[in-house]
Amino acid sequence: MKERQREVQLYRGQIPSPGRPTVAWRKDRVRFWAAIALGVKTEDAATEAGVSSPVAFRWFRHAGGVNPCLCPTVSGRYLSFGEREEIALARAQGLGVREIARRLDRSPSTISRELRRNASTRTFRLEYKATIAQWHAERRARRPRQAKLASNDRLRSYVAERLSGAVRASGGRALGPVGPKWQGRNKPHRGDRRWVQGWSPEQISNRLRVDFADDESMRISHEAIYQALYVEGRGALKRELVACLRSGRALRVPRARARQTAWAHVTPEVMISERPAEVEDRAVPGHWEGDLVIGLKRSAIGTLVERTTRFTMLIHLPREHGYGVIARTKNGPALAGYGAITMKNALASTMTTLPEQLRRSVTWDRGKELSAHAAFTVETDIAVYFADPKSPWQRGTNENTNGLLRQYFPKGTDLSRWTAEEIEAVAHTLNTRPRKTLNWQTPAEALDEHLRSLQQTGVATTD
């Protein structure tokens, strides 16, 4: 018997201990992920699959929330769990290999190979148990392929740099906070995050075709990048790089959206319904959308986004003199940095740096910080319009940009500590990212192309 065991071990190869058998089979995982695909919570999906909640949570965490898309049934070419149970019963009755093969309508070599490959070798005798054999078969059938990012160092370096590259000033100095140490959880709640380039996997995937047009080896899909980040065992990208994603979440989970409050200072004459029709089709540049990104201690940063080119400008709103020293009084001066007069002056100072052709209108949120919009229009000749209550989609370009900016300016942090230079560096980072809506041009390239066309048109008219 020892010689027989030695022959089987040599045939199967020297494999490390795979641990204890699994507590659930392929069909259980199929039922679990089918329930997850229908939007069921993990606890309810565990009940549907017939496994415990800890096991279900472990499956979801190890997969990174990514559905492995398991086939409901295995091919008839392979032995099923039911057939393995029949083999185990027949062996217990002392039947031979050929008799078992006739009963199962299988080849004798298939039965013989099954008994040698998947028999238990942890006992003195070579015992064949259906559960152990099924476990061995499922473990052996995985055959994971090496990820493309793991085999291509150049491609992996490109992807990692676009995800986690530092935000730098014009002199090359890295800016922003260090950020917390990765602990396997989502982005820090109401805390600093490290400033990174933060390209999305889709931006990286499509920009590769621009930067390496003639190199077919520098190609990868955005889904492959997501799975390299989320799914355990891929080993191509470091797990902590999920913190560099814009959402910052470690698993694929839905998130809620905040509600907005309307203010009564908006008059019917400046409602978005009165905005010219040319603004809607984005054909004419110069129409902007704006809002504030709010932080702790009444700190804020103003955001402006051009609707056609998605070019972003950030407005530095420092504290007024006396903030934190002078006691707050009702109807007193606004010292936080974004009072009506302060906001009007800062917005006017930013907008007047643009060419006249790019100063057509501004569509703002309903915040009271722009309650001096009439004076702003008189001073700059720029029309101001306000969105309807609880209608953030009417300023979708700006809302999307504010979501991008939360990667650098998270909720629950003091935004007044950042200087104008640091804020300008963040705006430059956004303006040099490729955008899908611009056919993978950057906003800076799109704006520069528009300005060049304006110059050529002006020269032609002069001639």
- Positive/negative CA dihedral, 279, 282, 284, 290: positive
Most confident of 181-185, 272-276, 320-324, 346-350: 346-350
pLDDT-derived band at 254, boundaries 50, 70, 90: very low
Listed in sequence order, the residues at least 6 apart from 380 whose beta carbon sits closer than 8 Å to its beta carbon are 348, 351, 352, 359
Sheet of strand 300-306, all strands in order from the earlier edge strand to the far edge: 312-315, 300-306, 287-294, 361-364, 383-386
pTM listed for this prediction: 0.59
Determine contact, residues 310/446, Cβ cutoff 8 Å: yes
**Segment holding 72, helix H or strand E:** none
- CA-based nearest residue to 32, from 53, 49, 50, 55: 49
Most confident of 18-27, 133-142, 256-265, 412-421: 412-421
Q: Is the pLDDT of residue 127 over 50?
A: yes
Strand partners, 288: 306, 362
Alpha carbon distance 429, 424 (integer Å): 9
Alpha carbon distance 12, 23 (integer Å): 24
Alpha carbon distance 81, 97 (integer Å): 18
User: In degrees rounded to 5, what are phi and psi of residue 408?
Assistant: -100, -30
- Tokens found for residue 420: 């104008």
* Interval 275-302 mean pLDDT: 90
Listed in sequence order, the residues at least 6 apart from 386 whose beta carbon sits closer than 8 Å to its beta carbon are 266, 270, 271, 272, 363, 364, 365, 366, 373
Higher per-residue pLDDT: 388 or 8: 388
CA 164 to chain centre: 13
pLDDT score at 213: 92
- CA-based nearest residue to 397, from 305, 309, 294: 305
First to last CA, the chain: 101
Listed in sequence order, the residues at least 6 apart from 346 whose beta carbon sits closer than 8 Å to its beta carbon are 302, 315, 316, 317, 338
Q: Which residue has the tokens 């906003």?
A: 443
> HSE of 201 in the Cβ direction (CA atoms, 13 Å)?
18
Tens of pLDDT, residue by residue over 419-440, are 999 999 999 999 999 999 999 9
Higher per-residue pLDDT: 271 or 461: 271
Alpha carbon distance 311, 446 (integer Å): 8
Determine contact, residues 409/293, Cβ cutoff 8 Å: yes
* Interval 363-383 mean pLDDT: 89
Tens of pLDDT, residue by residue over 68-111, are 877 776 667 888 878 888 998 998 898 999 999 999 999 999 98
